[in-house]
Structure 1
Amino acid sequence: MNKHYGQIVEKVIRRDGYSISELARLMNVNRRSVYNWFNKKRLKTDIVFRIGGVLNYDFSTEFPELFRANEFGYLSDNAPVQMAHDEVQTEPTFDKQWKDKYIVLLEKYNELLTQSIQVNARH
């Protein structure tokens, strides 16, 4: 496909009246990064997904090739696949899943650390 991703994203942002400064703030990047994205012929899938999430805009019409899933429900570069509206996993739920996994991992690490300290104290 011979489309210019950056120009398409810019067109959507400007057409819908979004502020570049606000988009940059919400995405935790500087304005220059946003303008650099506009100049790129091909954007990374995760950037398109993040912009779509921040703007609450579905880019699947403009970029259907980015929304095809493999057998694991993810694209080749591991970006989450957009699902039907009632199937969409909300950001807080997604964040909570990672937070829960992190806490479990941290608890296991603390158990191992405690065991290691006890073993070293005996010797």
Structure 2
Amino acid sequence: MTTKEKHGEILERVVRRNRMGISELSRKLNVSRRTIYNWFGQDRLHQEIIWQIGHSLGQDLSVSFPDVFPKSNPETARPVEATAKPAGDSNSVYFWMNKYIHLLEKYNSLLSVEEEQAHAEDQHKSMPLRNRRTETFVYQ
């Protein structure tokens, strides 16, 4: 009895053999590192996800995933229903998880910008003002 290897395990092996790190791959795919690690644990992955990762790594993954990419013309190896986002359909847990994480990251970046502005204003208020004509300090 033969056991089929999980898609995630095959994908992890391919990604770790490549020189590109997981952080760089996640930036290229516009997903979080956590999403990539979640893919490594999946039994089956969508054809588009595998294709996007292979494209980002500059490799043809149809050799590693013969059950996902049947033997055909190499020019038609890209799936027909391909979209720009490899996150899957809108019913997928990972799709919504990625949206939520992306939203949190945007919110945190906005908060940090706001905090920096408030800090800069506090420093500006605490500095003494200069009288430009006489170059002397004016005390409030």
| TM bucket, shorter chain | 0.5 to 0.7
More strand by share: 2
Q: Tell me if 1:35 matches 2:49.
A: no
- Unaligned runs of at least 5 residues, structure 2: 84-140
Unpaired segments of 5 or more residues in structure 1?
81-123
Q: Percent identity?
A: 40
Letter in 2 for 1:78: E
Q: TM-score, normalised by structure 2?
A: 0.48
Over 3 Å counting, the alpha-carbon distance change for 1:2 and 1:17 in structure 2 is same
Q: Which has the higher helix share?
A: 1
Tell me the distance in 1 between the aligned counterparts of 2:19 and 2:78: 30
- Report which of the two structures shows the higher radius of gyration computed on alpha carbons: 2
Equivalents in 2 of 1:17, 1:31: separation in Å?
Answer: 16
**Counterpart in 2 of 1:7?**
9
Query: Does the 8 Å contact 1:6/1:43 carry over to 2?
Result: yes
Contact 1:60-1:67 at 8 Å conserved across structures: yes
State the match for 2:50 in structure 1.
48
Superposed, 1:1-123 pairs within 5 Å as 2-68=4-70, 78-79=81-82
CA contact (8 A) 2:25 2:56 kept: yes
**Is residue 5–residue 41 contact of structure 1 (8 Å, CA) maintained in 2?**
yes
Distance 1:9 1:76, change over 3 A: closer
Distance (Å, rounded) in 2 between the aligned partners of 1:2 and 1:76: 23
Distance across 1 between alignment mates of 2:29 and 2:20: 13
Question: SS at 1:65's partner residue?
Answer: coil
The alpha-carbon distance between structure 1 residues 24 and 15, as it changes in their structure 2 partners (threshold 3 A), is same
How many residues align? The count is 78
- Give me the TM-score of the superposition, normalised by structure 1: 0.55
